[in-house]
Structure 1
Amino acid sequence: MTVTYVINGSEVTGLERFWQVIGEAVNGPGGYFGRNPDSFADCLRGGMGTPDDDDFVIEWRDHTRSAAALGHQETARYLRGLQARADPGNLPGLRQELTRADAGLGPTLFDRLVEIIRAETAPGTLLLR
């Protein structure tokens, strides 16, 4: 039996809220399912609330509202926060990415989250509605 986890896109108002929404969708109120891209990818690989046999679907409803909330402005805010703790060798690339986000260019957080889901789950797991 396939389990469906629903992300209500209208509830996603920024990245922190996305972590709450996905955590609760998978593991109930107050649930955890990652708090950064790396831990999110780890959770998607299994053992953190998703069925062990990978028989699940993530239905992202009203995803266009999430895409707007996780757009270039939120991406730039997130990248600014990373600068303080980034490895010095990674700063030039991070700054370049930030400049692009500030200009409304390049992948957004929404794009990255979709990419992570698609990379870490079976084809057809993500349904954008």
Structure 2
Amino acid sequence: MTTTYVIEGAEVTGLDAFWRAVGAAVNGPGGYFGANLDALADCLRGGYGTPDDGDFVFVWRDHARSRAALGHAETARTLERRLARAHPTQRPALRARLAEARAGRGPTDFDDLVAVFEREAPGALTLA
């Protein structure tokens, strides 16, 4: 039987709020299901609350609201935080992406999250 997890888009007011919402959806209030893109990918591969057989789906309700909250402004904020602790070899690429986000161009945090779902759990995410 397929297990369904619901991400409440109204609760996603920024990237930190997304991590709380997806953690709560899978593992209950205060639950963990990633705190960065790599960790989300690991969690989607199994062993962090989803069924061992991989028979699960996510429904992201009110995703348009989340898309707006995780848009270019939030992406710029996220990139600024990453840039502050990035290895020197990674900084030029992060600066370029930050400039694009500040200009309202390029992929957003929302786009990055959806891409991880699509790559690690193809077909398991429904945007509602």
TM-score if structure 2 supplies the norm length? 0.98
Quote how far apart the aligned CAs of 1:29 are: 1.1
Letter in 2 for 1:110: F
3-state secondary structure, aligned to 1:94: helix
- CA shift, 1:53, in A, is 0.7
Q: Residue by residue, what CA displacement relative to the aligned partner does 1:57-107 show, whole Å, maximum 9, x if unpaired?
A: 100011000000000000000000011111111111100000000000000
What residue number does 1:15 align with? Answer: 15
Equivalent position of 1:49 in the other structure: 49
Deviation of residue 17 (structure 1)?
0.5
Give the TM-score of the pair, scaled to structure 1. 0.97
1:36 CA displacement? 0.8
Task: Give the aligned residue type for 1:126.
Answer: L
Structure 1 unpaired stretches of 5+: none
SS at match of 1:77: helix
Which residue number in structure 1 is paired with residue 6 of structure 2? 6
Aligned to 1:116: 116
Q: What is the deviation of 1:115?
A: 0.2
CA distance in 2, matches of 1:105, 1:88: 24
Q: Structure 2 stretches of 5 or more lacking a match?
A: none
Deviations 1:2-56 (A, max 9, x none): 0000001011000000000000000011100011111111111100000111100
Number of residue pairs the alignment of both structures matches: 128
